[in-house]
Amino acid sequence: MKIILIGIQGAGKSTQGSFLSEKFKIPYLSTGHIFRELSKEKSKIGRYIKEVMNAGFLVPDKKTLKIVSEYLNRSEYKKGYILDGFPRTLSQAKEFKNGIDKVIYLRVSDKEALWRLSYRNGDDNREDETLAALRKRIELFHKFTEPVLDYYRKKGVLIEIDGEKPIEEVNKEILKGIKK
């Protein structure tokens, strides 16, 4: 099974992705995690990704597609995966050739997302999670990622979930949507 999780930062994608990974015995892959790992590298691409992320911008489509495709070609993703944080643009969605079974949109208000992010990780705030960077990312989500939702809605694979419900309820709704 190939599943994509979409939602603004703080919508609960990693929480639900971990649950789904365990339930379906397929790996969970977060592009945010991939990019944070790459940004630690003392390489040209690492420095570039770090600058882009810390400014709150998106890594360009071609670079993102290349990185995600390389990861998904690994043997551990052959039986399926849960993908979080990709595609973020309509161009990425149209260019992505890996075949998708379901796209789960965790709908959360901007206010709720900012509240959740300000209380997560305690003192372990990430460098790319300043309030300015978070607000910029939310703005970019509305501008670039909302058209992706329409694209998958028209394909008949989009499952919309109220991500502001309790974690267990959100998970039940996702599983119900996947079984349809």
Structure confidence by residue, pLDDT tens digits, 36-53 = 888 998 999 889 999 988
pTM of structure: 0.84
The pair of three-digit structure tokens given for residue 112, joined into one six-digit string: 């709720």
Rounded to whole angstroms, the Cα distance separating 24 from 37 reads: 25
102 sits in which H/E element: strand 102-107
Rounded to whole angstroms, the Cα distance separating 155 from 174 reads: 18
At residue 56, φ and ψ (nearest 5 deg) are 85, 10
3-class DSSP state of 110: helix
Q: Which amino acid is at 22?
A: E
* Lowest model confidence (mean pLDDT) among 8-22, 50-64, 91-105: 50-64
What average pLDDT does the structure give for the chain? 89
Sort 49 into a burial class: Cβ within 10 Å, 0-12 / 13-18 / 19+: buried
The pair of three-digit structure tokens given for residue 57, joined into one six-digit string: 């911008």
Domains of the chain in start order, with CATH, are 2-179 (3.40.50.300)
Structure confidence by residue, pLDDT tens digits, 63-122 = 999 888 888 888 999 999 999 989 989 999 999 988 899 999 999 999 998 888 877 655
Residue 153 CA to its chain's centroid (Å): 17
The pair of three-digit structure tokens given for residue 87, joined into one six-digit string: 């595609």
The pair of three-digit structure tokens given for residue 39, joined into one six-digit string: 């940004």
47 sits in which H/E element: helix 44-54
